[in-house]
Structure 1
Amino acid sequence: MITVGFAQTATIKGVILDENNLPVEKVSIKHNTNGTETNANGFYTLTIPANQDVSIGFTHLSYKTIQTTFNLKNGENFEFNPIMNSSIEQIATVVINSGQRKEVQGIVTLNPEAIRKIPGANAGVENLLLTLPGVSNNNELSTQYSVRGGNYDENLVYVNDIEVYRPFLIRSGQQEGLSFVNTNMVKNVDFSAGGFQAKYGDKLSSVLDITYKTPFQFEANADVSLLGASVSIENMSKDSKFSAIVGARYRDNSLLVNAKETETNFKPAFGDIQGYFTYKFSNKFHLSFLGNASLNKYNYEPKTRQTNFGTLTDPMALLVYYDGQEKDQYQTLFGAFKGTYFANDDLTLHLIASMYNTQEQEHFDILAQYRLGEVNANIGDENLGEVEYSEGIGGQLTHGRNDLDALITNIEHKGNFKIEENRIEWSLKYTNEDIRDRLVEWEVIDSAGFSVRPITKPANEQPYEPYTGPLEPYTNVRATNHTQINRIQAYAQWSKRSEIGSNEVWYNAGIRMQNWTVSGEGISTNNQTVFSPRAQFTIKPNWEKDMLFRVATGLYYQPPFYRELRDKNGIIQPDVKAQKSIHLVLGNDYSFKMWDRPFKLTSEVYYKKLTDVNPYTLENVRIRYRANNSAEAYAYGLDMRLNGEFVPGTESWFSFGYLKTEENIDNRGYIPRPTDQRLKFAALFQDYVPNVPSLKMYLNLVYNTGVPGGSPSYADPYVYQSRLPDYKRADLGVQYVVTDRNKQFDKGWRKPFKELSFGIEIFNIFDVQNSITNTWVRDVRNKRQIAIPNYLTPRVFNVRTTMKF
């Protein structure tokens, strides 16, 4: 039998235990005439109507009845785990819309199902973040993102309250491999773009807070495409004490990179395995372990490249012939234990211990010989498109032997205490970072047969006068570092729900402290301490219109991580100060109904004043700091997002962002920062064919105005202020759903599947030539440097199938 449902629904699931922490079988769970019952493990799942109060009763002959009310969003999965007692009268519970708490705190909650379905060259959590206002990334091969003018190093990422890290040496989106977050394991995604609470760490821009699932029954997921595959398996023991979810992923970017303009032998192999395990020793004590092991290999052997650029009246081309190769490898291991003690209903204590180890290498020797010239633009000419006149002829030899081994260990105590309407949270954390790094990079540039000497050396008159000095590389960086950083972090914060007259209000205030010491071989020990006070206030007026207003402010510090201590010559500068930023965020949420369906308009204006700024250059996704706190900066802007059911039963949204961020280096005046993404428009749209509702469409649109295009190596950024072209991209996914929760089969080959779908994806539908950086080539006639755009991926087709058992 086939059943198809089009109503707006949500899902409640969980496990029911008794007072001895044992599963209760055959508990009857009913809403009106719909119902289910728990299995031998005490697990249940129930589909209910969305966007309305739904009363549900939990009944069993041997236990007291529990009566509960829910109000959930369309498509929401809510976890409810009541404990049934045989001797104490159960108290009715009202569960409000689960999104309200996050809205009060200025946190955006993303639906994990949307994360798994939305198409993108790097599909996953970060792909969905890029559709939010204020979040930008002009490189679809990278999972990194900048938020409201910050760089990639300014974003916090947590998984189950545990901070996670990314590799250090990565210089290109092609080398990155996989994001840490495995979407098959995700239960909840929260994101804050600024003005976040003291309980989140010491970064300047944003917080991504991920919660992994705690399984209640057996389930297996698989996702297979031309870009790779992922599988996950989850289950719970019969006594409901032990649960486990394990996921493995493999990715190959060849489909994307081999479609680019550079002809290469490209062999990427990115893989990882993750596991999240929980054991409930009792109702009061739970122990969990989160582990991850990844291995990313990147072998790159370029052959030729031709880049056409310029204008219709003055077309030009760069032809490059390569010799050599690059071999990179990034191996990371991560493990974390988390013990949770539920002292009583009001007091919860945690102890977290984690370790992160990364072993990375970048080894490359690439010789590039180029011709820069004018292109034949005569239509009908047999040499149309070929270079007729060479304006620049030269070569470039780059060499690298970069190796890094980092071990980061953490131990943290966290607590959460409720006193009536007050909540007090605190933490004390110790971190040790042991980093061993060898950096060897040099570059020799040749133009028309003459070596181009470093710009810091005395000028010569080549080719008009011979130069008899020794051959020297244009850039030459050599450093060996063994650095240790010890950190002590702590925070305390208070929050409360209350009322002012008939208006609901929420308060939050807290303070963070961090002390760190930098030491190592050949490094003078340096110790610093910072304090970071933060506060939030939210009010929901008792108006006919459903509105909510927020204000958040604070003094935010970012104590330097290893990369921020290393200057452009690779030398560690231990006295680098923490970058400092004052945040002010004003927000408004307006919820309303349109076409009898729910919508919400979220608006935020923000201002950030930054001092002790550590200037940097951005090469693709590689950040190189000056390590001298020689700048000040500011950022301000407006973010808006309208989300709702533009198509009944689906959630879509449209985003707009305006940003201006500038910095003043060495008091030379303000210039745009490398992340000055002035305007942003984005849309995530879901739809289905009315007469064939199993045929679904997912559209991901992004338009960003151009960011500053960078400058040649070690050049003065005040001289090079041109911008890259606007970034325009549309990704389309079309999916046919064979089975899902509303369409099940009692017999045949489709019976084992809880979900099964097949689809195609088209990345960069309109085949727009977006560029991420410039390659700088010298013109031998007038010694100028010409910016040659490095284009990103063209239109690419992908085939994908997903399934759940």
Structure 2
Amino acid sequence: MKHIFFFLLLCTATFAQTAQIKGVILNEFNEPVENVTIRVDEIGTTTDATGFYILQVPANKKITVTFSHITYKTSTLKDLQLNANEDFEFNPVMNVNVEEISVVTVTATNKKRIEGLTNIEPTVIRKIPGANPGIENIIKTLPGVYSNNELSTSYAVRGGNYDENLVYVNEIEVYRPFLIRSGQQEGLSFTNTDMVENVDFSAGGFQAKYGDKMASVLDITYKNPKQFGANIEASFLGVNAAVEGVSKNQKWSNVTGVRYRNNSLLVNSQDTETNYKPSFTDIQTFLNYNASTKWQWSFLGNVAQNKYNYEPLFRQTNFGTVDQPIGVQVIYDGQEKDEYLTVFGAVKSVYEYNDNNKLKFIASTYHTQEQEHFDILSQYRLGEVDTNIGSETFGDVQFTRGIGSQLNHARNNLDALIVNAEVKGFHKLETKSEIEWGFKYTREDIRDRVVEWEVIDSAGFSLPNPLLGYTDNQPYEPNQYPLAPYQYVRATNYTTINRFSGYGQWNYAGKWEKGEYWLNTGVRFHQWQVNDQIGSGKSQIVFAPRAQFAFKPYWEKDMLFRAAVGVYNQPPFYRELRDYNGVVQKDVKAQQSIHFVLSNDYSFKMWGRGFKLLSEVYYKDFKNVNTYTIDNVRIRYRANNDATAYAYGFDARLNGEFVPGTESWFTFGYLKTEENQDGRGNIARPTDQRLKFAVLFQDYMPNIPSLKIYLNLVYNTGLPGGSPSYADPYNYQLRLNDYRRADAGFSYVFKDEKIQSQRRWLKPFQEFALGFEIFNMFNNQNAITNTWVRDVYTKSQYGIPNYMTTRVFNIKLTARI
């Protein structure tokens, strides 16, 4: 119980950590051996007709694996130590002589640790509560990752924006819809958590084999099932279900997931009263075919349809100070109807023509059809709030400072088709080194129509478009300018982009007198050209050299030191080419960031259990920056490469078994990032989130082992509040309030790997649990951006915070067979 009281009575449990050993067993004549028994203590399996086997084994401890057969002599693999969720391949040869296989030790100094990748267990992802559960929910608790929007799967990393992060599923780059806005319109993340086997994340300084983005890499691997399984998860927020299986000959395997989500429970807790009927649905499938021991094929497919019917009714937002409280009341008329239909398919083939050489072929297609249609009239009243507790009008706006109305209209439609073809190679050399290379062709075909306008009337006077340069002195003098919308965007773009990219890198492992070292050097190139209905832009090409060096001294303490430096170019994607007027600027240059990263990875024992402390310092220098503003939760680029910028900071993460059998972590980060537009001086970038503190904690009640409790806590200092798209950001440097959020989950487990039950109705289940979740447990008011309300009479403009969700309760049922 002491753990629960120490962590605000919030705790949880995960399952025992395991790893996986697999392979193909052959005899002296290179023939597969069937019915070989493979055992680790009391755990065992046998090979099939092709000699294939797979076995789940304990992780983080030394084990001995025995291979026995009635015809062949027993072999042993001693002192094998694997990390949690590690996939270790071992292909022994059976013969008539007694054979003890040489000692193989796989320690914490593994490939991922050397590369600076953070590994996340899928069980943690599935169990930890969050308003938007999944991988991104956990990513936001890691060092260097920032977000102040629980309804969004977007995140910013070390000063970058939300469009600067790479996401791969099985080495296939995945995309998000183009017209998507952070928050209630976003829908589902691409990644289906029920299908995930492994997750790796890098916040910077990553290798050349990863693509052309400036901030981070999220590398996800889906399951390759070895037996039948099914699961379902249902809550007030939606339903997820997945089924996995394998053919009798082990050549075919498949995992398929279906998801439905409805955010009404969360959105209805916001300031704005709405009739909101969202529908987020997708189906994914991952199919594998083992044509032989050397050649494997796989297919990844996804269809997602997100519909949004949004009808705001009323909003009251109170802000200001205790001495001068201000409120805005808004009455709405109209609605928004958005729809996104995306189809994604990818084929991957891996040919391993011997143990030292491997080729991969990947082809993918992404097609999205999107519409964003709305006509919303908002009539607002801005004034002082009645703070007299005994008053019948307590909390209402009483003393009016300004009144007005806004009419927003949009008819935005987009159709995009993205096709990729890629080949990769991997080669081991005799000199303890490796060579990796790859070439990729991408064609993007986008058809986009943008029609947006806004009309503003304040105190009975229509406000002019500020970009027209007219002076407004109403109500003292009548206007002399033509009547025009306050904002007006109209453009039609037929854009195609052809891209060629590739990389080559060299890995080397060596030993010094005082320790072991690893070296990685590589270079990427990217060539592209933008074409539209008018003509062609310039053909542009960029190169990006990168290097990593890791050193593990022969010390009693298990420490690894790592340094990374590299150039990270980001050739513009379609959204970065489109300026404030909706027009594509064909010659936008690639943004560039140079990373400098120094880190220390220290693994140690405390209380007899394993812990790790990872600390990193970094500096990033940006050039050709494509500046942007966040206009009411939408990123809008200037598309002119008119700025330079920098970011530096420190990140630390302590993780381990604070409670036996569970993994928890504490994260701290400091960040400063500024940009300089046209030499006017440094101002904070929109992602300048200075301090970050996060806790992901799991525990259990010793006296009630079936009761699991979870804590997911994030604290970020306030971001800059953004500015209207037409405005000068140098005049808008006020910050939002700090972001504070705590989500808690309580789960009663009827049955799982540790907890068995004699109840007959539970016999078919491997796991059955009922959970209760509290989102935003302390009911903090967190703001994502500001809505700008203008008043012509007082000559003032007010930033009205867009508050996120309040405290919400949820019930969740989980079942696995």
TM-score by length of 2: 0.94
Deviation at 1:87, TM superposition (A): 5.0
Contact in 1 for aligned 2:169/2:220 (Cα 8 Å): yes
Per the alignment, residue 29 of structure 1 pairs with 38
Contact in 2 for aligned 1:679/1:705 (Cα 8 Å): yes
Deviations 1:491-521 (A, max 9, x none): 1000011111140100000000111011110
Note closer, same or farther for the CA distance 1:494–1:73 as it changes in structure 2 (3 Å cut).
closer
Deviation at 1:381, TM superposition (A): 2.2
Q: CA–CA distance in 1 between the matches of 2:55 and 2:296?
A: 26
Deviation at 1:125, TM superposition (A): 0.5
1:573 aligns with 2:585: yes
1:553 aligns with 2:565: yes
Q: CA–CA distance in 2 between the matches of 1:672 and 1:259?
A: 31
1:783 aligns with 2:789: no
Contact in 2 for aligned 1:36/1:45 (Cα 8 Å): no
Deviation at 1:259, TM superposition (A): 1.2
1:339 aligns with 2:349: yes
Contact in 1 for aligned 2:629/2:725 (Cα 8 Å): no
Deviation at 1:13, TM superposition (A): 5.7
Per the alignment, residue 756 of structure 1 pairs with 768
1:702 aligns with 2:714: yes
Per the alignment, residue 276 of structure 1 pairs with 286
Deviations 1:166-195 (A, max 9, x none): 111112311111101101110100000001
Deviation at 1:780, TM superposition (A): 4.3
Q: CA–CA distance in 2 between the matches of 1:416 and 1:48?
A: 28
Per the alignment, residue 424 of structure 1 pairs with 435
Contact in 1 for aligned 2:21/2:57 (Cα 8 Å): no
Per the alignment, residue 743 of structure 1 pairs with 755
Given residue 183 of structure 1, which amino acid in structure 2 is its aligned partner?
T
1:511-660 to 2 correspondence within 5 Å? 511-660=523-672
Per the alignment, residue 397 of structure 1 pairs with 407
1:117-516 to 2 correspondence within 5 Å? 117-420=127-430, 421-457=432-468, 458-467=470-479, 469-516=481-528
Deviations 1:739-788 (A, max 9, x none): 11223357611111111111101000000000001111123442110111
Contact in 2 for aligned 1:7/1:49 (Cα 8 Å): no
Q: Is the partner of 1:177 in helix, strand or coil?
A: coil
Q: CA–CA distance in 2 between the matches of 1:73 and 1:317?
A: 58
Q: Unpaired runs of 5+ in structure 2?
A: 1-12
Deviation at 1:556, TM superposition (A): 1.4
Q: Is the partner of 2:731 in helix, strand or coil?
A: coil
State the percentage of identical aligned residues.
60
Q: Is the partner of 1:723 in helix, strand or coil?
A: coil
Q: Is the partner of 1:749 in helix, strand or coil?
A: helix
Deviation at 1:591, TM superposition (A): 1.2
Given residue 395 of structure 2, which amino acid in structure 1 is its aligned partner?
G
Q: CA–CA distance in 2 between the matches of 1:320 and 1:23?
A: 74
Note closer, same or farther for the CA distance 1:494–1:304 as it changes in structure 2 (3 Å cut).
same
1:57 aligns with 2:66: yes
Note closer, same or farther for the CA distance 1:275–1:583 as it changes in structure 2 (3 Å cut).
same
The equivalent position to 2:678 in structure 1, one of 644, 666, 690, is: 666
Note closer, same or farther for the CA distance 1:358–1:546 as it changes in structure 2 (3 Å cut).
same
Q: CA–CA distance in 2 between the matches of 1:483 and 1:181?
A: 28
Q: Is the partner of 2:112 in helix, strand or coil?
A: helix
Q: Is the partner of 1:529 in helix, strand or coil?
A: strand
Contact in 2 for aligned 1:292/1:334 (Cα 8 Å): yes
Q: Is the partner of 1:634 in helix, strand or coil?
A: strand
Q: CA–CA distance in 2 between the matches of 1:121 and 1:632?
A: 36
Deviation at 1:284, TM superposition (A): 1.4
Q: CA–CA distance in 1 between the matches of 2:248 and 2:441?
A: 38
Q: CA–CA distance in 1 between the matches of 2:17 and 2:733?
A: 52
When structure 1 is superposed on structure 2, of 626-635 and 379-388 the one drifting more is: 379-388
Note closer, same or farther for the CA distance 1:66–1:299 as it changes in structure 2 (3 Å cut).
farther
Note closer, same or farther for the CA distance 1:254–1:528 as it changes in structure 2 (3 Å cut).
same
Deviation at 1:24, TM superposition (A): 6.4
Q: Is the partner of 1:94 in helix, strand or coil?
A: coil
Per the alignment, residue 723 of structure 1 pairs with 735
Deviations 1:9-31 (A, max 9, x none): 52436475657999866432323
Given residue 155 of structure 1, which amino acid in structure 2 is its aligned partner?
N
When structure 1 is superposed on structure 2, of 637-646 and 461-470 the one drifting more is: 461-470
Given residue 236 of structure 2, which amino acid in structure 1 is its aligned partner?
L
Q: CA–CA distance in 2 between the matches of 1:478 and 1:173?
A: 25
Q: CA–CA distance in 1 between the matches of 2:792 and 2:256?
A: 58
Q: CA–CA distance in 2 between the matches of 1:131 and 1:206?
A: 15
Deviations 1:665-724 (A, max 9, x none): 011000000000100000100000011122111100000000100113311100110000
Given residue 302 of structure 2, which amino acid in structure 1 is its aligned partner?
N
Deviations 1:591-635 (A, max 9, x none): 111111111110000000111111111135421111111000000
Q: CA–CA distance in 1 between the matches of 2:676 and 2:116?
A: 30
Deviation at 1:72, TM superposition (A): 5.0
Note closer, same or farther for the CA distance 1:393–1:602 as it changes in structure 2 (3 Å cut).
same
Contact in 1 for aligned 2:474/2:792 (Cα 8 Å): no
Alignment coverage as a number of residue pairs: 799
What's the RMSD between the two structures over aligned residues?
A: 2.1
Per the alignment, residue 105 of structure 1 pairs with 115
Q: Is the partner of 1:175 in helix, strand or coil?
A: coil
Deviations 1:50-96 (A, max 9, x none): 4321111122224564423465578x234445446555977556251
When structure 1 is superposed on structure 2, of 465-474 and 688-697 the one drifting more is: 465-474
Q: CA–CA distance in 1 between the matches of 2:307 and 2:96?
A: 59
Given residue 37 of structure 1, which amino acid in structure 2 is its aligned partner?
T
Contact in 1 for aligned 2:241/2:259 (Cα 8 Å): yes
Q: CA–CA distance in 2 between the matches of 1:630 and 1:794?
A: 39
TM-score by length of 1: 0.96
Contact in 2 for aligned 1:71/1:96 (Cα 8 Å): yes
When structure 1 is superposed on structure 2, of 370-379 and 61-70 the one drifting more is: 61-70
Contact in 1 for aligned 2:461/2:792 (Cα 8 Å): no
Q: Unpaired runs of 5+ in structure 1?
A: none
Q: Is the partner of 1:12 in helix, strand or coil?
A: strand
Q: Is the partner of 1:104 in helix, strand or coil?
A: helix
Deviation at 1:656, TM superposition (A): 0.3
Given residue 445 of structure 1, which amino acid in structure 2 is its aligned partner?
I
Note closer, same or farther for the CA distance 1:766–1:671 as it changes in structure 2 (3 Å cut).
same
Q: CA–CA distance in 2 between the matches of 1:528 and 1:384?
A: 61
Q: CA–CA distance in 2 between the matches of 1:554 and 1:422?
A: 21
1:38 aligns with 2:46: yes
Deviations 1:542-566 (A, max 9, x none): 1111111000001111111111111
Given residue 674 of structure 1, which amino acid in structure 2 is its aligned partner?
P
Q: CA–CA distance in 2 between the matches of 1:785 and 1:193?
A: 38
Contact in 2 for aligned 1:197/1:535 (Cα 8 Å): yes
Given residue 43 of structure 2, which amino acid in structure 1 is its aligned partner?
G
Note closer, same or farther for the CA distance 1:666–1:11 as it changes in structure 2 (3 Å cut).
closer
1:61-100 to 2 correspondence within 5 Å? 61-63=70-72, 65-69=74-78, 76-80=84-88, 82-83=90-91, 85=93, 91-92=101-102, 94=104, 96-97=106-107, 100=110
